[in-house]
Structure 1
Amino acid sequence: MKNLLGGSVFTGMMLVALTACGGDDAEKQDVVKVWTYPVHGEYEGELKESIEEFEKENPSIKVEYEILSWAEGLQKFDIALNSGSPPDLYFGRPLGKYKETGLLVPLDDKLSIDLNDYDDIALDHMTLEGSMYGLPLYQYLHVWGGNKALLEEYGVDYEKIQSEGWTWDEFYELASIGEQENDQGDPQYGFVFQGVDEELLDHLARNNGIPYRMTEKGVQWDDEKILEAMEFIVKLRDDGIMPAETAAIDAAKRQEMYYNYQALFYGRAIPYADAMVQLRNQEIQDGVTEGEELDFVLLPIPHQEGQEEVAQGGAEGYLLFKQNNADDAHVENSVKVLEHLAGEDAIGKTSSALALPIIHKGAADNYELPLSPENTVAAERLASSVLPPNSISSELAAKDDMFKTQVVVPTFQGLISGELSPEEALDKFKSEAESANYQP
């Protein structure tokens, strides 16, 4: 979802109604500022239409929106927030560091809509310490995927995996089949995952009995379970199931290898990969794109034997922020805009476009997902097993985010590149976990 459009800006002109003689009964519209992202390919057009509809129904409110780039938007927002001048509405998920500023506004007593229409898991992911700070636009899922033609060629029962899940050992056995040379003479791997971030370790840790990196007791990535996850990753690399150069593989390269039949399984994917693959197939048929057609198979993340399978997911939507000089009337107007931008129609269009579970009852009756039947079943099963949000305090959540950025990412880079052994990486986690910076 972070690769479709660059940043662009639409700023609605503030309308000032003046009398013909320049009288002093002039009226000014209340301007609500929205910062968002290119959520999907048609999102900006849909957003513009939605705003125009809202402004017709609420002529005293003007909505200014800005589309941030995925690459630079988060930093821009952090700067604005830390300077005390965030937009009224921001697209994202509530984080402890946002709450710590005192500018993130709880919605518990401000909403006029029926929250019973929204999915409970999605709503949970818009809360911190028992208070709701935003409305979800969609519930995202991070999944693994497979090349259907190769899976069928090797006799892999992927529908059984979709319905029942699989263990690390089962995944390893199947992925070993894919390690060979493809028809073009290029190396083919059993599994390809981007190595420029820590996501692979996070996926496997969650599926080895460590659902959260941080709890009220402190950092949890300091025992044998995280060591087992790191040892498994190194085994995949050393046995040739994953490319030796995984540390340098980003999302674009991973996708390219999948399209080129160099990966039996790959991650991270999202359900929308199904629609993306079908679009690419059509472009190949039309002569617009070169390559071989393929079909995407949506798969769960494998779990360690004896551990519970955990789906990777959460929710994102619009959060409410308050500038230091905003009055109650302005906050009320901002809430109206928020309810509109994360309402039934917006959820239906966005979820359908992204092939994500539709989290609003009304929208679910009017929109369908562009997924194959088997992938639909798999996505619905995984959506029901997404963990609730971490219940730690906002202060600890901020420390968890800092631990991830300052410790986990560079340590994992050292591990996947071969500079650190699993034992050395564990020692790094342990020593940093004992630092006062990350203690409860």
Structure 2
Amino acid sequence: MKKLVALTMATAMTLSLAACGGASSSSAAASTATTDTASSAAESTASEAEDTITVMVPPVTNDYLDKMTEWADEFHQQYPNLTMEVIGTSWDDHNTKLSTMAQAGEAPDIAEIAYAALATYVENGTALNLSECMDKDQLADFDQNALDYMTVENNVYGLPLYITIQALGANKDMLEAAGVDVAKVQESGWTYDEFMEAIKNGTKDDTFGFVFANSGATASDFLNIFGVSAGLNNAFNSDLKYEYTSTKMLNLLTAVEEMTNSGYMPNYGVEASQRMVMCETGNAMIFGKAMPLFENNINKNNAALEAKDGTAVENSIPVNYAFLPVPTMDGVTETCYGTVDGMVAFRNSNSTDEHIQNVMKALYFLSSGERAAYVDASTCLDGVCASAREALASMDTGDRDQGNIDCAARMIKTVVAPPTGITAEQTANAKQLMDEVIVPKFQALIAGETTAQAMYDEIVKQATAVFGEDGCDLT
């Protein structure tokens, strides 16, 4: 069905397919039928023709939809002949609405999506290939590691808006009391042994040295986020072999077993809503998952405590928040788990040569400079393009800690994008293994009902049955 949709749209839009070569291909075609002077005049008239570009976005930040209206006005001032029409959605209905519109051939010109959904729109022929449609200098504005997430088969199909990094957060004062040089850890990372010494020292009668949400589906968060400590950056390695069967997984599970058996980490399920609260109440020194933007949440709670207005977390204490990298085991290069959301341009019934070029203007406008910087500042993230970082440099960071800002900026550069070439079948099988085998076994490991070795052996058994020995990394 997807191939049929792609074929139908391609047949109906032959002109727009040729358009992705840019303005130069349009000029060459025009010169075969007219004089150079007439061609130039025609292009000038086309570039000034009125056009409307539709943009569909969810509330990326609390006031993102309001800001989009402002940016649409700014875009119209910059390009008086172009109008940006904003379609606001909720997080709940955004993906469904976009999928339905795209399959009907009436996708918005631009929409915000998570990178994991990108391949679907490339496969059905609705995502525009920016490698052919967009000015190379504009593409060069973006960091390569961020562009890699929006790349399919060596072609770029979207502009990254931000990389959401997920690692660890902590009570900075408790860390320092436990003997940790917080500034050094934020600047250059730390080893697993140093981390273990810290959480040992930070564990008290009513305080865990380390807490990570591990209840239900959040168990997979631990494997994705803390897994980088053992060198597990993705479910598949660069050879497209399933990597949770490697000895890296055994090393990770052995570490979990050590932390729970020692009492440094809870041996029971911790809900996602509990992890930061336990830090705010002084019952956890380090917690995960954590993001840079959690600093805003903790600062808000600190302000509520000071104001004594009754809105602070019950039994909470003032916390000086520190964003931290995940430690690394022997022989592992420091990385950080991240995921990318970005803006993608779509092919629809309006996709003429001139319209696509107008869409490219709007796409770059929304994904770069002050617009991208505003999103980054709101989410406490560093920019993923040079123009956004330049705009961020002049923005007020409020009362954020500079060490947290610098650590987040450093960690974004260490994110490893998933390898290209993973098939839909591999993705589906990996998810099934995670949901039906790894998560239940991981929760049993936390509770002391199985061992790291037994869990690892079961993963290898189940995964080789699915992917075959040749499809698994068994080193």
* TM-score bin (small chain): 0.7 to 0.9
Contact 2:240 2:419 survives alignment (8 Å): no
Query: In structure 2, what is the Cα distance between the partners aligned to 1:159 and 1:57?
Result: 44
Contact 1:93 1:134 survives alignment (8 Å): no
Query: In structure 2, what is the Cα distance between the partners aligned to 1:226 and 1:75?
Result: 35
Any stretches of 5+ residues in structure 1 without a counterpart? 1-27, 183-187
Call closer, same or farther: CA 1:347–1:254 in 2, change over 3 Å: same
Amino acid at match of 1:293: P
Query: In structure 2, what is the Cα distance between the partners aligned to 1:83 and 1:255?
Result: 43
Contact 1:234 1:416 survives alignment (8 Å): no
Query: In structure 2, what is the Cα distance between the partners aligned to 1:83 and 1:178?
Result: 57
Question: In the alignment, what sits opposite 2:267?
Answer: 244
Contact 1:400 1:438 survives alignment (8 Å): no
Contact 1:129 1:391 survives alignment (8 Å): no
Contact 1:29 1:60 survives alignment (8 Å): yes
Give how far 1:98 is off.
3.1
Once the two structures are superposed, the pairs formed by residues 5-404 of structure 1 within 5 Å of their partners are 30-58=51-79, 60-81=81-102, 85-94=106-115, 95-112=118-135, 114-182=138-206, 188-195=207-214, 196-197=217-218, 198-214=220-236, 215-246=238-269, 249-250=271-272, 252-288=273-309, 289-290=311-312, 291-323=316-348, 326-368=351-393, 369-370=397-398, 371-387=400-416, 389-393=417-421, 396-404=422-430
Query: In structure 1, what is the Cα distance between the partners aligned to 2:470 and 2:195?
Result: 39
Give how far 1:107 is off.
0.6
Give how far 1:87 is off.
3.0
Question: In the alignment, what sits opposite 1:11?
Answer: none
Q: How many residue pairs align between the two structures? A: 402
Contact 1:93 1:319 survives alignment (8 Å): no
Give how far 1:166 is off.
2.0
Amino acid at match of 1:42: D
Give how far 1:413 is off.
2.1
Give how far 1:234 is off.
3.7
Give how far 1:431 is off.
2.5
Matched, 1:428 2:462: yes
Report sequence identity in percent.
24
Contact 2:179 2:198 survives alignment (8 Å): no
Any stretches of 5+ residues in structure 2 without a counterpart? 1-48
User: What secondary structure does 1:114 align onto?
Assistant: helix
Query: In structure 2, what is the Cα distance between the partners aligned to 1:319 and 1:230?
Result: 38
Query: In structure 2, what is the Cα distance between the partners aligned to 1:397 and 1:98?
Result: 14
Query: In structure 2, what is the Cα distance between the partners aligned to 1:360 and 1:163?
Result: 22
User: What secondary structure does 2:230 align onto?
Assistant: coil
Query: In structure 2, what is the Cα distance between the partners aligned to 1:73 and 1:436?
Result: 39
Call closer, same or farther: CA 1:401–1:65 in 2, change over 3 Å: farther
Query: In structure 2, what is the Cα distance between the partners aligned to 1:438 and 1:225?
Result: 13
Amino acid at match of 1:164: S
User: What secondary structure does 2:130 align onto?
Assistant: coil
Query: In structure 2, what is the Cα distance between the partners aligned to 1:412 and 1:69?
Result: 32
Call closer, same or farther: CA 1:132–1:425 in 2, change over 3 Å: same
Per-residue deviation, residues 73-117 of structure 1 (Å, max 9, x unmatched): 344444554565543322134433332222221111322453343
TM-score, structure 2 as length reference: 0.75
Query: In structure 2, what is the Cα distance between the partners aligned to 1:29 and 1:404?
Result: 48
More strand by percentage: 1
More helix by percentage: 2
Amino acid at match of 2:345: L
Contact 1:348 1:360 survives alignment (8 Å): no
Which structure has the bigger radius of gyration? 2
Give how far 1:218 is off.
2.8
Contact 1:122 1:314 survives alignment (8 Å): no
Contact 1:97 1:398 survives alignment (8 Å): no
Q: What's the Cα RMSD here?
A: 3.0
